[in-house]
Chains A and B, each alone.
Chain A
């Protein structure tokens, strides 16, 4: 399990890192993996109507969000304590992902008005994630 995390895409894309950064990033990766598992499980339970609407249903829906808070805090800690060049690369990658995702989101609405297929927030998040990884790759190349 540890080896899997160590060789994760995010860790590889970040390149050479201090032990502290690798530990903090691995911690954030674990939180992300747990969030993904919780989100998939909650979706399976809710969409498949395996839980009824009510307190239990609300709890099932809230679990991924609660876990996401942990993931955000873990990633924030990584950024705060990161080697300053790594922090710069990460912030530039986040800016690229967020910027492209935001403008893609707004820009695509114009195409929807012209008959393009409807897109939702999950489509925008794919764009954000893709350009975040592109940003990491570009940063690693720029400062190699």
Chain B
């Protein structure tokens, strides 16, 4: 799954640590999501959507391979 987390965070000039603190997760988790190594749970994705004030689908997009499999 791809995401725009890094862009959205940069627009607000937030550090990974600050976003992690708001989400109540570790900085490693934010970094792993940003780099696409880890897909967050649905509750965490909703928290991200709330923090950035955007719908989930504007933050996360499925890989084309995942869509092809449907």
Contacts and interface: CB of A to CB of B under 8 A. Distances in A.
Interface of A: 15-18, 20-21, 83-86, 88, 140, 142-144
B28 A143 contact: yes
B26 A21 contact: yes
B27 interface: yes
Given A16-B26, A85-B38, A143-B28, 13 more contacts: A15-B26, A21-B26, A83-B25, A83-B29, A84-B29, A85-B28, A85-B32, A86-B26, A86-B28, A86-B29, A140-B28, A143-B32, A144-B32
Given A18-B26, A85-B32, A143 B40 contact: no
A29 to B, nearest CB: 18
A52 to B, nearest CB: 51
B44 interface: yes
Give chain B's interface residue range (CB within 8 Å of chain A): 10 to 19
B38 A143 contact: yes
B63 to A, nearest CB: 18
Contacts of B29: 83-86
Interface string B42-58: 00100000000000000
16 contacts: A16-B27, A18-B20, A18-B25, A21-B26, A84-B29, A85-B25, A85-B32, A85-B38, A86-B28, A88-B38, A142-B37, A143-B31, A143-B37, A143-B38, A144-B28, A144-B31
A11 B27 CA distance: 15
A83 B25 CA distance: 5
B68 interface: no
Contacts of B20: 18
A51 B16 CA distance: 57
B64 interface: no
